[in-house]
Amino acid sequence: MTWISPLASESYTEYRDQRALDKLELRGKLSKPLREFWPARGPVWDALGVSSKGRPVIVEAKAHIPEAASPGTKAAPKSLELIEQSLQATRKYLAPRASASWTGTFYQYANRLAYQYFLRVLNSLDSSLVFLDFTNAVDMDGPATEEEWRGAIRMIHAVLGLPANLEYFGVYHAFMDARAVADLQSNHRMESDA
């Protein structure tokens, strides 16, 4: 993987909208423009990368389960119309029998899926969406185990009417122990001070 953001050299900036697509070097590779699919001020990506095979990777990270239970959209009527249209197309593709509204609870999860649909289906890009779920983020009162996250994911999928596994659609869940990240940071600081 080559990580594009967040980078120390860019003050750990996270990107959204066309700027995120530009960072992934997708300008000129999109047959459907983003503005026709999603209004401005869309999802801010926690990380962007490109795999060794040139696959764009978009990452949404969570440190605790309540963070995944996002409120519904507060979009203005004109933007809401486009959002609803795009979420409905995504839902029809991922879960044709589902009838739940994706603009309510778990809206953030749903709009991340919509971006993957935009890249992979509407623009025929072999992209990956990764939900990075941290365990042992004690400062955030996060879950201690992967099993706790898996239970929450099952519930989100059930509410949205999604199949249990979305890997066929290039959607993955990865789990990382926050203590390991803290240890790496601590070791890096000690090496820098030496």
- Residues paired with residue 44 on neighbouring β-strands, in sequence order: 16
pLDDT score for 72 = 87
- The radius of gyration computed from the CA coordinates of the chain, to the nearest angstrom, equals 17
**Residue 129: phi, psi to the nearest 5?**
-110, 125
pLDDT score for 7 = 95
pLDDT score for 190 = 52
pLDDT score for 166 = 97
Question: What are the C-alpha distances in Å from 82 to residues 11, 39, 51, 52, 113?
Answer: 32, 7, 31, 34, 15
Checking if the pLDDT of 131 tops 60, the result is: yes
Checking if the pLDDT of 99 tops 60, the result is: yes
* Mean pLDDT value of segment 160-167: 96
134-162 pLDDT, tens digit per residue, is 999 888 888 899 999 999 999 999 999 99
Name the band, by pLDDT with cuts 50, 70 and 90, for residue 183.
low
Q: 2: which 2 tokens?
A: 């080559």
**Residue 114: phi, psi to the nearest 5?**
-65, -40
pLDDT, greater one: 122 or 185: 122
Question: How far, in Å, CA of 58 to CA of 143, rounded?
Answer: 23
pLDDT score for 194 = 55
Checking if the pLDDT of 94 tops 60, the result is: yes
Decide: 93 and 7 in contact? Cβ < 8 Å: no
pLDDT score for 141 = 85
pLDDT, greater one: 193 or 105: 105
35-62 pLDDT, tens digit per residue, is 999 999 999 999 999 999 999 999 999 9
> Sign (positive/negative) of CA torsion 130, 93, 169, 174?
positive
Name the band, by pLDDT with cuts 50, 70 and 90, for residue 69.
confident
